Amino acid sequence: MPSKSLLLLLLSSLLFIWLIVGADSVQSNLQPHWSDDESHFNRTLSNILVPRVVGSQGHQQVRNYLIQTLSDLGFKTDVDEFKQRVPIFGDLTFTNVLGCINPQAKNFLALSCHYDSKYFPNDPGFVGATDSAVPCAILLNTAKTLNSYLTAQFQNRTDLGLMLIFFDGEEAFKDWTNSDSVYGSRHLATKLARSRTGPSVGGQTPRTIDRIEVLVLLDLIGAPNPKFSSFYENTHALHRSLVEIEQRLRSSGQLEGNNNMFLNRPSGGFVDDDHRPFLEENVPILHLIATPFPDVWHTPRDNAANLHWPSIRNFNRIFRLFVYEYVRLHKQPVNLRYYRA
Ligand SMILES: *[C@@H]1O[C@H](CO)[C@@H](O)[C@H](O)[C@H]1NC(C)=O
Ligand SMILES: *[C@@H]1O[C@H](CO)[C@@H](O)[C@H](O)[C@H]1NC(C)=O
Ligand SMILES: [Zn+2]
């Protein structure tokens, strides 16, 4: 490795530590090289890449697959099931799927995406490859490839746990409005805001939702040339660490092609998505959605044939390292909230 990239790597890991945990306890270990396990990724994706409109058989299969896979990976799994009336279909049963490692921890890093696919009356075969089958496979592949590290870490830590959330019912059944969209995340945010769990803070049991340090939401990933901008000032340092990890991996020859995905700049806008109900509950959000949206978005072409593998591989590598570093560098609660309760 040339000394210039070594220096860059050292500087960026120092910057990351400083930004995330403060200037204390600085140590600059070189990160281990995590293998991709792409055959796991492919297997996982093929299990998810079926039409999975809420209430359909494919939906039930994918829901069960997520629960089983999380449980096989050592996550404590949980479902948040509820009935709700929706346009066109009437009463539907929704199921958010949650997996947790170290559920007793004070705080959580939460990684999320939606697993339902959109209903198109004229396209019953719509599989939503980028929306959001690939994001679901990325979360599971991250958990799989970091599994031995995570399991060892979380045997003995009280500061942090890892939560994976697969939201149901993100898609509108008719036209996207505040009430016809993000059914699952609205239900889950309300539920977590009403319950109090975990170790007490200042003599009070915290609201469960306040134990989430940051909700990372992945959406619309898998098309060529994705660009991810920073949507929220309070999580900009985290976004910037993704920019730096990408630079670090690229300069050490570990990425394919030369598209810079993570832009060190504010998005200058809001994209409505599953994070909205959590944002409204003061949860810090890292929204990893490609903007502009993929060309295939909400068309029959959002399928396996149009996935761009170099982008998927690069995203997996960058994201894996991001999660690893968050866990490794975490020592005490990270409070990025816009306002204090
Ligand atoms: C995963 O699937 C893609 C697309 O079919 C293929 O190009 C790649 O070689 C596969 N990877 C493995 C390890 O099978
Ligand atoms: C786990 O943590 C406890 C208390 O901090 C410590 O005494 C013990 O040595 C740790 N065990 C391992 C395996 O790290
Ligand atoms: Zn969609």
The pLDDT > 90 percentage for the chain reads 86
Peptide bond into 51 cis (omega under 30): no
| Pocket mutation for ligand 1, best pick of 36, 42, 43, 312 (most atoms within 8 Å of C-beta) | 42
- All structural domains of the chain: 38-245+259-329 (3.40.630.10)
Phi, psi of 237 (to 5 degrees): -65, -35
- Is 159 annotated in the active site? no
As residues whose CB is below 5 A from the ion ligand 3, the structure lists 118, 131
d(CA 228, CA 220): 10
Where residue 340 falls among pLDDT bands split at 50, 70, 90?
A: low
Encode pLDDT of 115-130 as tens digits: 999 999 999 999 999 9
Which of 168, 170, 274, 302 does the annotation list as catalytic?
Answer: 170
Nearest CA to 151 out of 228, 59, 73 is that of 73
If you measure from the C-alpha of residue 255 to the centroid of ligand 3, how many angstroms do you get, rounded to a whole number? Answer: 28
27: pLDDT strictly greater than 90:
no
If you measure from the C-alpha of residue 44 to the centroid of ligand 3, how many angstroms do you get, rounded to a whole number? Answer: 20
- Pocket lining: 46 vs ligand 1, CB cutoff 6 Å: no
d(CA 247, CA 213): 25
Q: Provide the pLDDT for residue 23.
A: 35
Least confident of 17-26, 99-108, 261-270: 17-26
Q: With 0.75 as the threshold, say if the pTM is over it.
A: yes
Nearest CA to 34 out of 260, 254, 330 is that of 254
d(CA 217, CA 187): 16
Where residue 156 falls among pLDDT bands split at 50, 70, 90?
A: confident
Encode pLDDT of 238-257 as tens digits: 999 999 999 999 999 999 99
What's the whole-number mean pLDDT along residues 169-177? 97
Tokens of 319: 């994201």
19: pLDDT strictly greater than 80:
no
- Pocket lining: 35 vs ligand 1, CB cutoff 6 Å: no
If you measure from the C-alpha of residue 199 to the centroid of ligand 2, how many angstroms do you get, rounded to a whole number? Answer: 18
Q: Provide the pLDDT for residue 12.
A: 53
Plot region of 47 (φ>0 → left; ψ -120 to 50 → alpha; else → beta): alpha
Q: Provide the pLDDT for residue 13.
A: 53
Which residue's entry shows tokens 């898609």? 171
- Report the mean per-residue pLDDT for the chain: 92
CB 227 within 8 A of CB 290: yes
Q: Provide the pLDDT for residue 308.
A: 98
Burial 49-81 (b: 16+ CB within 10 A, else e): bbbbbbbbebbeebbebbbebbeebebebeebe
- Pocket lining: 159 vs ligand 1, CB cutoff 6 Å: no
Q: Provide the pLDDT for residue 28.
A: 41
CB 334 within 8 A of CB 107: yes
Report which secondary-structure segment, H or E, holds 186.
helix 183-194
